[in-house]
Amino acid sequence: MDDVAQIILSSSESDYLDQLIPLLKNAETQTQVTPLIHALNHVSADREAEIERICNTNHQEFISSVNQLQSVREGTVSLTSEIMELSKSIESSTEKLAEQKRALVESRGVRQNIDECTQALKDCLEVLRLANQVYDLLSKKSHYAALRALDELQNVHLREVARYKIAETIERSVPATQRLIAEAVMSDLNTWLYRIRETSQFLGEVAFYHTEMRRERQKNRLETNEYLGSFKLNSAVELVADEVEEFDVLNNEEVQVDFSPLFECLHIHDNLGQMDKFRADYAATRRTQKELLIPQTINLLDDESNELSSLLEGIAGFAIVEKGTMAKTENFRAQADVDELWESMCQSAITLITSSLDKVANDEKLLKIKGVIALFIQTMDSWSYPVASLDGLLLTLFDKYSSLLKKRFSDDFAEIVSTDDYMPMPINNADEYAKVVNVSWYTPPDGHEDPETLTYPCVLPFSQMYPLVCIDIRNFLNQIYLFSDSHFRHTTVIDATLKESLDSLLVHKVCRSLVERLNSQYAGQIVQILTNLDHFEQACRELEILLVEARSSSSAAGPITLAATAEFKEAKTKAEKRLFALVNSKIDNLIQLAEYNWQARSAPQHVEDYMQELTSYLANTMSSVLLGLPETIKQQIYFEALTHISAGLLDLPLDDSQPKISSQSVAQYQMDVQHLVEFVEGLPERDVLAPTLEELRQTTDLMGLAAEGQGEEFFDTSKAGVRFGRVDKIRGAELLEKVQTRTQSTLLSPAPRSPSVADFDGQHAKKPSVAGFGGLGARFDQFRRDRS
């Protein structure tokens, strides 16, 4: 009811009407709606009454209004028809529009699809463009750029088109493309490695030239600063001193080694994650290239050593590139691999050179070979490569070199000795004299030091073989030390080899060859050999001093003693003995010519011919044959000769075939001995030589006294010790037994038997007869007892 009241009171008729419709239809609310219906009917009746009243009041207006409404209605109908037509028109237009809209919607979908397809095509085309760009970069050798483009394509652009099949196709092709890039960059690297191999020799040549320049600079430093010059090449001091001369062997005006292909290859394989494989492949390639550097054979006989230089320059260039690679990369080339390659190349080169050395028979050629190898060693030492094995090769070369030198000089020495004239060397002018003195170890006598003061032509005591051998010795020494001018660390070997070789040459080719010629019967030749031996002995002593001064090893100390010195001294003794033998043989021959008539009864008229010949022989020998000998040797020979003469002359009266000697024979004997004594006393060396004849002189004096019947003085110890102190007691007694007094010698009958030596030797009990000796019998008995 409240609802009804609200409806009634509502200001609008339409208020709540919509709410009443379901209430009216609801049966449950019929009882409640009935009053409402009545109320509504009442309201409706009121309204109609009101409307009627209003209409009645305003009927005319109403009619007019109706008319108006009628006209409006007509208009409305016409408008309705028009609206209907318009509605139909709009409806048809709407249908067309809907169709157009549907078409538009459809076209928009198609367009969107087209746009999406276009964008997809664009994305795919971009991917294809990038894929093609990778190959374009590959064709342009831009391998790293191609790899970067491929990486960008794979990690960025392919993700944008991941829903398309082309992405899958390109994705599958990426590994193949990476392999193409790796192969392309390896191909370029192999080309680079080939060019490096081709330029290795030139690179080594440039490195050798640089080392030569360093040698020259070090030599110049030696001229200006002896302290700096004393350091060897590649020493710390030399390297510091040479820092101002900057030179990059790998990048200079002559040669440039560009490592860009290697760096690119490293970057690419690093990005591909194939660094280990690349490192192994590169090492294998370098090993193969190393094998290509080493030829099968090498010719060491060409004048310029071109093949050897080419081999070592190639090895040097190869090794320098390896060091450069290690310096410019990090953890790419292992030190062990580089050292292995180096040692392998060195051993191959050493084997080649050693096997070809047998064909080299010239020491000068070996010296050139050593120079090339030493230059190679010094160059590679500056790059911190181990060179111990190459030092061993130099030692082998030195052994070969010293052997060839020894053979050559051995032949020279043999020829010099065999072709010598064994005559004192003539000198024609001061220049010749100065040259001989300079090349040989010869000390001119006092007053002859200045060549200008001598009178030419003159002669030197030695023969021409002596200065020739001295020249060869100096040349041999210089050529041995030439081997150590450049790099050679075995200096002690040089000193030892030089000493041993000189000893061998001097002993076997000079000394013993001269000793073999001592069999000559010509005293002049023996004298010349002896003179030469004496000078060679002095030369060896000088040479010992020179070897100490020239010693190349600074660590060695102490004197050097040549075995040749003692050998020459011993040979000189042999020569002296041989000369003594020849002189004594001649003396023996001359003494054998003595034909004394020990029973002569006539007084002597002149000195015997043999004695005159003997003194003449001694005078000639000393003044001509022995002229060139040193005074000491000359005196010794004279001393020995006179001693031998004295012994020979003493043997003459003691000959067992002559039991008796007449006083006239004694006089003749005394005359001859006196002639010899006077000859000796006339010599400049009389003070030294006179004692050699003292026994002979005293013996002849004893024989003279015996001939005068005064022989008992020999047994007077107070007098005999002074006058006959040098006379042998047995010989004196025997001569006293043989010599007859002047009275006895005048008798024609044979003299009674004189006592023999056997009667006084204590072996016979028989008392000797003293007939003919007067009061000497008791003296003989006393003498026998004294001797016992």
Q: Are 713 and 723 in contact (CB under 8 A)?
A: yes
Residue 503 token pair: 């000893």
Nearest to 562 by CA among 586, 545, 578: 545
The whole-angstrom separation of Cα 678 and Cα 687 is 13
CB contact set of 51 (below 8 Å; sequence gap of 6+): none
Per DSSP, which regions of 347-429 are E strands?
A: 425-427
Residue 510 gets which letter from DSSP?
I
Q: Tell me what pLDDT residue 758 has.
A: 37
Average of pLDDT values for 684-704? 84
For helices 729-738 and 776-787, the axis angle rounded to 10 degrees is: 160
Q: Are 434 and 427 in contact (CB under 8 A)?
A: no
**Beta bridge pairs of residue 256:** 251
Pick the CATH number of 593-750 from 1.20.58, 3.40.720, 1.10.3470, 1.10.150: 1.20.58
Q: How many helices (H) and strands (E) does the chain have?
A: 30, 2
**Beta bridge pairs of residue 739:** 661
pLDDT range class, residue 753, cuts 50, 70, 90: very low
Q: Which residue type sits at 107? A: S
The whole-angstrom separation of Cα 425 and Cα 628 is 10
Min mean pLDDT across 17-26, 31-40, 218-227, 585-594 is at: 17-26
Residue 266 token pair: 């490293």
Q: Are 664 and 603 in contact (CB under 8 A)?
A: yes
Coil, helix or strand for 102? helix
Q: Judging by beta carbons within 10 Å of its beta carbon (0-12, 13-18, 19+), is residue 754 exposed, middle or buried? A: buried
Q: In the predicted model, is pLDDT for residue 519 greater than 80?
A: yes
Which strand (E) or helix (H) includes residue 459? strand 458-460
CB contact set of 571 (below 8 Å; sequence gap of 6+): 511, 512, 514, 515, 533
Q: Tell me what pLDDT residue 348 has.
A: 92
The whole-angstrom separation of Cα 336 and Cα 154 is 39
Token pair 């052994």: residue? 399
The torsion of the CA quartet 573, 576, 581, 584, rounded to 10 degrees, works out to -140
The whole-angstrom separation of Cα 442 and Cα 535 is 7
Q: Tell me what pLDDT residue 784 has.
A: 46
Coil, helix or strand for 52? helix
Residue 276 token pair: 């280990």
Q: Tell me what pLDDT residue 345 has.
A: 92
The whole-angstrom separation of Cα 229 and Cα 237 is 10
Kindly list the distances between the CA atom of residue 314 and the CA atoms of 206, 306, 351, 750, in Å, as whole numbers in the listed order: 11, 12, 16, 110
Which strand (E) or helix (H) includes residue 326? helix 306-328
pLDDT range class, residue 346, cuts 50, 70, 90: very high
Average of pLDDT values for 764-773? 33
Q: In the predicted model, is pLDDT for residue 771 greater than 70?
A: no
The whole-angstrom separation of Cα 322 and Cα 318 is 6
Nearest to 311 by CA among 296, 326, 323: 296
Average pLDDT, the chain: 79
Average of pLDDT values for 631-660? 84
Q: What is the DSSP string of 29-85?
A: GHHHHHHHHHHHHHHHHHHHHHHHHHHHHTHHHHHHHHHHHHHHHHHHHHHHHHHHH
Residue 245 gets which letter from DSSP?
S
Residue 293 token pair: 């550097």
The whole-angstrom separation of Cα 144 and Cα 574 is 90
Residue 19: half-sphere exposure toward Cβ, Cα within 13 Å = 8
> Which residue would you say has higher pLDDT here, 77 or 235?
77
The whole-angstrom separation of Cα 535 and Cα 529 is 10
Highest mean pLDDT pick, 74-78, 513-517, 653-657, 755-759: 513-517
Q: Are 779 and 715 in contact (CB under 8 A)?
A: yes
The whole-angstrom separation of Cα 234 and Cα 242 is 10
The whole-angstrom separation of Cα 664 and Cα 533 is 48
CB contact set of 767 (below 8 Å; sequence gap of 6+): 759
Q: Judging by beta carbons within 10 Å of its beta carbon (0-12, 13-18, 19+), is residue 414 exposed, middle or buried? A: middle
pLDDT digits (tens, 9 = 90+) for 201-220: 888 889 888 888 877 777 77
Average of pLDDT values for 40-62? 79
pLDDT range class, residue 568, cuts 50, 70, 90: very high
The whole-angstrom separation of Cα 531 and Cα 634 is 10
Query: Per this entry, what is the length of the chain?
Result: 788
Coil, helix or strand for 751? coil
* % of the chain with per-residue pLDDT over 90: 10
Residue 92: half-sphere exposure toward Cβ, Cα within 13 Å = 5
pLDDT digits (tens, 9 = 90+) for 281-308: 888 988 888 888 888 888 888 777 788 8
pLDDT digits (tens, 9 = 90+) for 190-204: 888 888 888 888 888
Burial letters 2-16, b for 16+ CB under 10 A, else e: eebeebeeeeeeeee
Burial letters 311-340, b for 16+ CB under 10 A, else e: bbbbbbbbbbbbbbbbeeeeebbeeebbee
Quick count: other Cβ atoms within 10 Å of Cβ 353?
Answer: 22
Which strand (E) or helix (H) includes residue 147? helix 143-152
Q: What is the DSSP string of 650-716?
A: HHTTT-TT---B-HHHHHHHHHHHHHHHHHHHTSTTHHHHGGGGHHHHHHHHHHHHHHTT-GGGGG-
Min mean pLDDT across 411-415, 426-430, 550-554 is at: 550-554
Q: Are 772 and 751 in contact (CB under 8 A)?
A: yes
N-terminal to C-terminal alpha carbon distance within the chain: 207
Nearest to 560 by CA among 552, 548, 549, 542: 548
Token pair 């009627």: residue? 52
Burial letters 581-617, b for 16+ CB under 10 A, else e: bbbbebbeebbeebebebebeeebeebbebbeebbeb
Residue 398 token pair: 């030195």
pLDDT digits (tens, 9 = 90+) for 230-266: 556 656 656 665 555 677 888 888 888 888 888 888 8
Q: Judging by beta carbons within 10 Å of its beta carbon (0-12, 13-18, 19+), is residue 186 exposed, middle or buried? A: buried
Kindly list the distances between the CA atom of residue 162 and the CA atoms of 21, 149, 150, 174, 521, in Å, as whole numbers in the listed order: 65, 18, 16, 14, 119
Tell me phi and psi for residue 448, to 5 degrees.
Answer: -110, 15
Domain boundaries, the chain: 2-57, 181-384, 401-424+461-576, 593-750
pLDDT digits (tens, 9 = 90+) for 152-173: 666 666 666 666 666 667 666 6
CA torsion sign, 703 to 706 to 708 to 714? positive
Nearest to 478 by CA among 461, 502, 460: 502
Tell me phi and psi for residue 454, to 5 degrees.
Answer: -85, 160
Residue 260 token pair: 């860009």
The whole-angstrom separation of Cα 583 and Cα 622 is 11
Q: Which residue type sits at 665? A: S
Highest mean pLDDT pick, 8-12, 124-128, 452-456: 452-456
pLDDT range class, residue 764, cuts 50, 70, 90: very low
Whether the ω angle into residue 457 lies within 30 degrees of 0, i.e. cis, is yes
The whole-angstrom separation of Cα 655 and Cα 417 is 46
